[in-house]
Structure 1
Amino acid sequence: MTDNWGFYERRSDTEELRVLINVGYKASAPLPGRSALLSVTVNLYPVRERNRSKRDFIRQLERLETQLEQRLKTTADGIYIGRINAATRLEFYYYVRAEMLDKANFEQWIKTAWPFRAEHYVKPDPEWDLYRYLLPDALEELFMHNAQMIYALLHKGDDIKRPRHVYHWLLFRQDEDRRQAESALRGLGYRIEREKEGSPDDSFPYPLVISKFEDVRLDTVNERVRELYRLISGSGGRYDGWGSVLKLTGLGRLRQQMRKMMDATQAYIRRSSSTRR
C-alpha cells in the first residue's frame, strides 16, 4: 500500500465538512491487528484567538498533526487515515493496535504536547466502518480531482480568481439524452461548444462540450461540477472532467519568462559546446 491522499468537501444536514483521507487503504481495509479507532478533536476557536496570523494558526495545527502521527505510530503501531475539518473543530482519525495503546500515557502526553483542550476517544472498529464512511462517493471523487487540478494550476502560477472560459466534458448513452441536456444547460447559462470534440467511449458514445465564463476557485468549480453531475446523472449522462487555459499571476508570468530564458541559454550552451567539439 502506498499513500494516496485526497481532499474533498462533504455537506451534512447541518454543516460543510472538508475531508482529507488516505484512499490508499481502500482495497486492503481493514488491516489485520489495527482494530481500534482513535480520534482526537481540537476546538479551533482558542487556537485562532492565540495565533496572530492564519499562517501561524495553520502551522500550529500541522505540528500537532505531525506529532500525533509519529506518537501513535511509535507507541501503538498506529495508522493515520484522515481528518475532518469543520468550521469550529478539527478531527483526526487513526487505527491502532489496542493491546499496544497505553490510554493513560497517551492522555498525559497530549496534555503536555497541546496547549489547548483536546477531546479524544478510543473504540473498537475492527471493520473500519469509520474509514468506509469517509471514503468519497462518485461525486466526492470528482471533488478530489478538482482539488488536485487546482493545486496543479496554482503550482504553475495561475491566478485562479481571474475569470476565463471553463470547459466541461459530458458523455451520454443516447443522442436524445444529449439533446435534452443541451436545452437545460442553455437555460442555466452554459454555452454549447460545437467546435470542440469530446472523447466518446463504447458505453457513452455521445459527447458534449460546454463552457461558462468564471473563475476556477475550488468553491466555484465544486459547485459547477455538483450542478452538472446532478443534472445529467439521472438522464443517461456522465460527467467527464473540466479544463481551462492558464491565467498567470504577475509572478507566474515572470517565472515563466525566466524559465524560457534559462532554457534558451542552456540550449545555446549545448549548441556552442557541440560546435567546439
Structure 2
Amino acid sequence: MADNWGFYERRDGGEQLRVLVNTGYKDDEPAADYPDLLSITVNLYPVRDQVKTRRQFVAQLEELESKLEAWLESGRGAIYAGRINAATRLEFYYYLPADRPGEDALRAWVDEHWPHRAQCYVKPDPQWEFYRYLLPDTLEELFVHNAQMIYALIHKGDKIAQPRNVYHWLLFREDEDRLAMERLLEKEGYVIEKEKESKPEQDYPYPLVISKFEDVKLDTVNARVRELHRLLAERDGRYDGWGAVMRLSPSKRFRRYVRRRKESAQLALRRVLSWRCSQSNQNEAGKH
C-alpha cells in the first residue's frame, strides 16, 4: 500500500493537536501480520531548553523521526501510522509485525539515539483501533485539503499572509436553504458572488459562491472552513472547496514574467522551425 500522508489540526479534551497520518490504509482491513501498536512519546520541554532557535528545535525532531523510521522499517517491516504533535510532547505511532523486536531493544535504541526523556511502550491493537482514531473525520478531511493547497501556494512563492479575495463554493439540496444562507452570510460580512461560476451536482443542485477578503494562512482558512461547515450542517448543505488568486513577491512576479516570456519565445521558435521544415519538404517533393 502506497503512503498517502495527510495533516490536520484537532481539538481533543481542550488540547490542540497537530496530526500527521498515513491515510493509505483507511480502506483496508487491519493487517493481521501487524497486531501491535508502538508508541514513542518525546517530552518537548528539554528540547526547547537546549536549542536557541525554532529551526534547531524542528531539525532535532526531524532527525529523530528519520532515524526511527529507517530503523523500524528497514529489516523490521514496521508500518509508520502517524504522529501527534501537542504543546508539550511529540508522539510517534507504528504498527509492528508479530516477530517484532522486544520492548527492551526498542527502549535501548531510543536511549542511544535520543538524549532527552522519552517514553516507549507496545500494546496489542489487532483491530487497528488507534489508527481509526487518527484518521480525519469529514471536517478534518477539509483541513487536510487546506494544508495541501497552502503548501502548494507556498512552494510556488505565494505570500500567504497577504489578504486577497478568498472564494468558497457551497452546495445545497434545496433552493430555500441556499437563499436563507445568502441572507445569513451577507449579515456576517461575506460577499455573495453572483457572477462566479459554480457547477450544480445531482444531489446538490443549488450552488452558492461567496468570498471574504483575508489572508490564506492555514489558521485563517481552517477557521473559515470550520465556520462554514457548521452553518451548512444546519441547512443540509455541503462545502465544496475554496480558491484564491496567488499573491507573489515582486521578485517572484518578475521571475515568473521572464519564464513565461522565455517559454513563449521558445514556442514561437519551434513553430517557425517546424514551418520551415514543412516548406522545405514541400519544395523537395515539387522538384521530383
Q: TM-score range by the shorter chain?
A: over 0.9
What residue is the counterpart of 1:26 in the other structure? Answer: 26
What residue is the counterpart of 1:133 in the other structure? Answer: 133
Distance in 1, Cα, partners of 2:153 & 2:254: 16
Letter in 1 for 2:2: T
Q: 1:107 to 1:167 in 2, by over 3 A?
A: same
Moved more, 173-182 or 40-49: 40-49
Query: Which structure 2 residues correspond to residues 187-202 of structure 1 after superposition, within 5 A?
Result: 187-202=187-202
Q: 1:70 to 1:160 in 2, by over 3 A?
A: same
The 8 Å contact of residues 41 and 92 in structure 2, kept in 1 or not, is answered as: yes
Moved more, 158-167 or 190-199: 190-199
In percent, how many aligned pairs have the same letter? 58
Query: After superposition, what is the alpha-carbon deviation per residue over 1:172-231, rounded to whole angstroms, capped at 9, x for unaligned?
Result: 000111111111111211111111121111100000000000000000000000000000
Q: Which runs of 5+ in 1 are unaligned?
A: none
Distance in 1, Cα, partners of 2:72 & 2:141: 29
Letter in 1 for 2:206: Y
* 1:66 to partner: Cα distance: 1.0
Are 2:116 and 1:95 equivalent residues in the alignment? no
* 1:75 to partner: Cα distance: 5.1
Are 2:176 and 1:204 equivalent residues in the alignment? no
Moved more, 124-133 or 95-104: 95-104
Distance in 2, Cα, partners of 1:141 & 1:214: 22
Distance in 2, Cα, partners of 1:76 & 1:98: 10
Q: Which runs of 5+ in 2 are unaligned?
A: 278-288
Distance in 2, Cα, partners of 1:201 & 1:275: 46
Are 2:233 and 1:250 equivalent residues in the alignment? no
TM-score (norm 1): 0.95
Distance in 1, Cα, partners of 2:250 & 2:119: 45
SS in 2 for 1:80: strand
SS in 2 for 1:77: coil
TM-score (norm 2): 0.91
Aligned-residue RMSD, C-alpha? 1.6
SS in 2 for 1:123: strand
Query: Which structure 2 residues correspond to residues 19-168 of structure 1 after superposition, within 5 A?
Result: 19-74=19-74, 76-168=76-168
Letter in 1 for 2:142: L
Query: After superposition, what is the alpha-carbon deviation per residue over 1:83-130, rounded to whole angstroms, capped at 9, x for unaligned?
Result: 001111111000002432222122111111111111111000000000
Which structure has the larger Rg?
2
